[in-house]
Each structure stands twice: as structure tokens, then as C-alpha cells.
């Protein structure tokens, strides 16, 4: 695709190319400002790129925009339904603008599917965050799209609702729907068939989560010390030590755990810091993402 999109001097999307397979769950993963929303909006025909080509269903989005939009569903990052309409009325509205005539059975199916049936008469503005996202998903599915685009669908959603939402997405994939979603949560990305790691408008890795984790051939030493913050401060200033901090523990990406743990112990002992616990673990997707960002010099 070599897709590019800039806003003034800011390059939001910088020459990215990727493809998505039919029926897969594809995750576009990265921090705020990585370019995820811009990419999704271009794929949906809501924005135009500055250069490059975009094809959905094998057709150029710039030439077949309306045709493609009738065959896709889109859930935006910000809740955009009508707060003064009920759950039923919002779905009815989306059915009508998508030219779905006999939508009553489909609406009932979606309400059951998203567990919103008991709340069908409640105004959208009175729903919880998780329920609002489920309603937005139901509206995006009313016309039976072949692909759904979800822009950070679980941001700001409580853990229980997030788990329910992922169960719904899993069931949708079983029905053969292609799911393209963006998320800043790397633990969520682990659930996708394939992921594209994105940072500052560029893709830094595309593959299955497992293959991305295996790509560096590194291990992680997970360390707990008697002064975590000071330990991290000391180690991050050491050349050739790839250190990350997660709450009450430090992760160090290494090639040879036993040899490099001895080096780390020596550095900390010289500063009167003791390691109270250590273990070697497989890198998480978050470990790998941070490592790749550092290697790329962002």
C-alpha cells in the first residue's frame, strides 16, 4: 500500500504496507499517537491518504467508497450513538441508514448476542461504558458486514465488560467475520491471529504474537530488589543493558541469562542494592514492543 498521511508537519502514517486475511482477527497495536486511528479511518473510506493505495474486498477504496462502506462495520474510538435514543431506537436508526428493511429479528439476535435485551428500552446516555460499546457493536453489525473495524473498543471499559466484549469478538470470528481492531493494550493483542506493531506512523513488526515474541531469540530476567526504583535508574544508565520496569519488578532483555544476571548483580551490589528474587521468563509482547522501539531509535 505504501500508505502515507500527514497533518501539517506531523506524519501520522508513514509509508505502511500490510494485508489482512479473510476471517482473521488482526490487531493494530501501539501507543496513543502511533497512527492507528488515522489508518482505520482511511481503510473505512472516512479519510483519504496523501499517497499510496488502499484496497478492501479487492477494490480501491477511493473509487468504490460507498459500495465498500455498505459491506463493512465501524466502531469509532469515541461513543458516537444518540444518547437521547433508547438501545432499540439506536439500532433501528442504524438499520435504516444502512437500508436494512426487515431488521426486527436481526435486532433481537444482536440484543441477545450482546446481552442487552434487558436494557433495550434504556436511553443510551444511561448505559455504562461497557454497555455503550456493546450497543455500538450491535449497531455496526445490523447490516451483516463481512469486515468490522474496531478502534480501541475496550479503552475505558471495566475488566468484566472487557472480558465479555472479547467473548463476543471470538464468537463473531467463528461466524467468519474478519475483525480489524486497534488497541494500546498488548495483552489484548495476544488474542489476535496476527498483529502489526505500530509506532510514530511506522510498522515495526507484523506476524503472529508468538512469532514476534520468538523473533529476537532473547529471554527476560525478572528481578525484584530491595530498591526497585533505584535499581532501574542505575541499570538504565548502563550501556548494553535493555531494562524495563513493571510495577515492583524489573525486566532485563538478555541473550545469556546466567552470565548477564551475574553482571547485573555485580552492578547493583556495588551500589549496596541486593536482588531478593530473580527468574528467567519468556518475553511478553510488551517486552518485545519496547525492545523493538528502542532498537529502532524512536
Same domain for 256 and 115? no
179 within a domain of the structure (yes/no): yes
Q: Are 157 and 228 found together in one domain?
A: no
pTM value is 0.90
Does 38 reside within a domain? yes
Domain count along the chain: 2
Q: Same domain for 37 and 172? A: yes
Same domain, residue pair 193 and 232: no
Which three cell numbers mark 197? 506493531
Pair (114, 133) in one structural domain: yes
Residue 93 lies in a domain: yes
**Residue 290 domain flag:** no
Q: What is the CATH number of the domain that holds 194?
A: 3.40.50.300
Q: For strand 25-29 and strand 194-199, is the pairing parallel, antiparallel, or unpaired?
A: parallel
The domain of 238 spans: 217-282
Give the other-Cβ count within 10 Å of 2's Cβ: 11
Cell numbers for 114, please give them.
450482546
Q: Tell whether 267 and 232 lie within a shared domain.
A: yes
From first to last of the 298 residues of the chain, give the pLDDT tens digit: 899 999 999 999 999 999 999 999 999 999 999 999 999 999 999 999 999 999 999 999 999 999 999 999 999 988 888 999 999 999 999 999 999 989 999 999 999 999 999 999 999 999 998 899 999 999 999 999 999 999 999 888 888 888 888 989 999 999 999 999 999 999 889 999 999 999 999 999 999 999 999 988 899 999 999 999 999 999 999 988 999 999 999 999 999 999 999 999 999 999 999 999 999 999 999 999 999 988 887 7
Indicate whether 287 belongs to any domain. no
Residue 293 lies inside a defined structural domain of this protein: no
The answer to whether residues 81 and 142 belong to one domain is: yes
CATH number, domain with residue 240? 3.30.70
Is residue 65 located within the same domain as residue 149? yes
Is position 252 within any domain? Answer: yes
Counting other chains too, the contacts that 258-267 makes at CB distance below 8 Å and 24 or more residues apart are: 260/221, 261/221, 264/221, 264/223, 264/235, 267/234, 267/235, 267/238
Check whether residue 159 and residue 224 sit in a common domain: no
Amino acid at each position: 500500500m505504501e500508505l502515507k498521511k500527514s497533518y501539517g508537519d506531523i506524519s501520522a502514517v508513514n509509508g505502511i504496507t500490510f494485508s489482512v486475511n479473510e476471517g482473521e482477527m488482526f490487531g493494530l497495536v501501539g501507543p496513543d499517537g502511533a497512527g492507528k486511528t488515522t489508518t482505520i479511518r482511511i481503510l473505512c473510506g472516512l479519510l483519504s491518504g496523501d499517497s499510496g493505495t488502499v484496497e478492501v474486498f479487492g477494490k480501491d477504496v477511493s473509487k468504490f467508497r460507498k459500495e465498500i462502506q455498505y459491506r463493512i462495520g465501524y466502531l469509532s474510538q469515541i461513543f458516537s450513538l444518540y444518547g437521547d435514543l433508547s438501545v432499540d431506537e439506536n439500532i433501528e436508526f442504524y438499520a435504516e441508514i444502512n437500508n436494512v428493511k426487515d431488521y426486527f429479528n436481526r435486532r433481537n439476535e444482536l440484543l441477545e448476542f450482546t446481552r442487552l435485551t434487558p436494557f433495550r428500552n434504556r436511553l443510551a446516555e444511561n448505559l455504562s461504558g461497557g454497555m455503550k460499546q456493546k450497543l455500538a457493536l450491535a449497531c455496526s453489525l445490523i447490516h451483516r458486514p463481512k469486515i468490522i473495524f474496531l478502534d480501541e473498543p475496550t479503552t475505558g471499559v471495566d475488566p468484566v465488560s472487557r472480558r465479555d466484549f472479547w467473548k463476543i469478538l471470538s464468537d463473531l470470528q467463528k461466524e467468519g467475520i474478519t475483525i480489524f481492531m486497534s488497541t494500546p493494550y498488548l495483552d489484548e493483542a495476544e488474542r489476535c491471529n496476527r498483529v502489526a506493531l505500530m509506532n510514530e506512523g511506522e510498522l515495526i513488526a507484523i506476524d503472529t504474537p508468538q512469532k514476534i515474541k520468538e523473533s529476537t531469540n532473547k529471554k527476560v530476567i525478572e528481578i525484584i530488589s530491595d530498591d526497585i526504583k533505584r535499581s532501574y535508574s542505575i541499570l538504565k544508565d548502563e550501556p548494553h543493558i535493555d531494562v524495563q520496569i513493571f510495577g515492583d519488578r524489573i525486566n532485563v532483555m538478555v541473550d545469556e541469562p546466567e552470565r548477564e544476571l551475574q553482571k547485573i548483580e555485580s552492578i547493583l551490589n556495588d551500589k549496596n542494592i541486593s536482588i531478593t528474587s530473580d527468574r528467567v521468563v519468556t518475553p511478553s509482547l510488551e517486552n518485545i514492543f519496547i525492545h523493538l522501539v528502542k532498537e529502532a531509535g524512536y
